[in-house]
Amino acid sequence: MERTKFILDEKEMPTSWYNILPDLPEPLPPVLHPATGKPVTPDDLAPIFPMALIMQEFSPERYIEIPEEVQRFKQLYGLDVVQWWGLTETTAHVTCQPVDGTGKLGSVGKALPGWEVKIVDDNGKELPPNQSGEIIVSGPIMKGYYNNPQATAETIRDGWLYTGDVGKVDGDGELFILGRKKEMIIAKGQNIYPSDIEDVLYTHPKVAEAAVVGIPDELRGEVVRAVISLKAGEAATEPEIKRFCLERIANYKVPKQVIFLDSLPKTAAGKIRKEDLKK
């Protein structure tokens, strides 16, 4: 994996912004001061930047808040990790964790002032806490897609923006992102979110990259396919991966197919091209 430089941007706001790759490299790269180009130490950062906001284009195949990586980041840089969520269509972020770093692991925080967040089913009916469905938001959203009234009408309904993201809100109002609605796999009537399986695969010590997709099946509707790239010098088998998953997730989520590739296909932005993995 390519190393990424974390560039410290000195501003009046006591906040440091980073763009972090889903897989933090070993070892973590230094924060470089824009003026000197030299690594910045935690002691240098602490008086000026008490937290780090994680900026990330959401990718359901790998959610950024993985406990081990968050802990390593905090230990190295001496900064709290704060997660937030928003969309281009919302013009700003919609939710944010507490800025003191006390947010729940895996959560992107609560709705910020001026925003409402709901979880709805396929009919637009609001769901109770801890049930997963599509995330819709109301607030200072976009007016619409330029010269595309059909897409606008599909996305904005009765003042609510239908995000296409799947998530749940717990009893405390904390939002958890689970994946993209269009990527959900339905196998024998069971809803399966690829991220549930991908999170498990990424904990396997031999796995470098993983993506999960649904493949059409006459009997089940869809079956789960896992496509994996192994770390350099490692070897693994399909039964080994299936056993690993079965020990950690429900049987119906265990991949029926496991395919190994040298590397996973990606877009120019570095996101895994899941459509290519269905072929």
Average pLDDT over residues 86-99: 90
Q: Give residue for tokens 């950690």.
A: 248
Q: What percent of the chain has pLDDT over 70?
A: 75
Mean pLDDT over 49-54 rounds to 48
Q: List pLDDT tens digits, range 117-147.
A: 999 999 999 999 999 999 999 999 999 999 9
State the pLDDT at residue 216. 93
Q: Which amino acid is at 179?
A: G
Q: How far apart are CA 78 and CA 43, in angstroms?
A: 8
17 has a pLDDT exceeding 80: no
pTM over 0.85: no
Work out the pLDDT band at 23, boundaries 50, 70, 90. Answer: very low
pLDDT band at 92 (very low <50, low <70, confident <90, very high): confident
Structural domains in the chain, sorted by start: 1-178 (3.40.50.12780), 184-278 (3.30.300.30)
Q: Is the pLDDT of residue 44 over 70?
A: no
Alpha-carbon separation of residue 220 from 109, 189, 206, 279 (angstroms): 36, 8, 30, 18
Query: Which burial class, exposed, middle or buried, applies to 13 when counting CB atoms under 10 A from its CB (0-12, 13-18, 19+)?
Result: exposed
DSSP string, 67-122: HHHHHHHHHHH--EEEEEEE-GGGSSEEEE--TTS-PPTTB--EEPTT-EEEEE-T
Tell me the Cα Rg of the chain. Answer: 20
Cα gap 202→210, rounded to integer Å? 7
- The token duo for 165 is 């993201």
Decide: residue 7, CB within 10 A, 0-12 exposed, 13-18 middle, 19+ buried.
middle
72 confidence band (pLDDT: 50, 70, 90): confident
Q: What interhelical angle do 194-201 and 238-246 show, nearest 10?
A: 110
Alpha-carbon gap, residue 8 to 38, rounded angstroms: 11
Per-residue confidence (pLDDT) for residue 268, from 0 to 100: 83
pLDDT (average), residues 9-29: 41
pLDDT in the model for residue 79: 76
Is residue 264 within 8 A of residue 211, CB to CB? The reply is: yes
Q: For the stretch 111-121, what's the b/e string if a residue is b when 16 or more beta carbons lie within 10 angstroms of its beta carbon? A: beeebebbbee
Tens-place pLDDT, residues 174-206: 999 988 888 889 998 888 989 889 989 999 999
Largest pairwise CA distance in the chain: 62
Instruction: Report pLDDT for 105.
Output: 81
Question: What's the whole-number mean pLDDT along residues 69-87?
Answer: 79
pLDDT at 37: 66
* Whole-number average pLDDT of the chain: 81
Measured at the CA of 100, the angle between CA 95 and CA 105, to 5 degrees, comes to 60
Higher pLDDT, 65 or 171: 171
Residue type, 110: K
Q: What is the pLDDT of residue 14?
A: 35
Percentage of the chain modeled with pLDDT above 90: 54
Going by pLDDT thresholds of 50, 70 and 90, the confidence category of residue 166 is very high
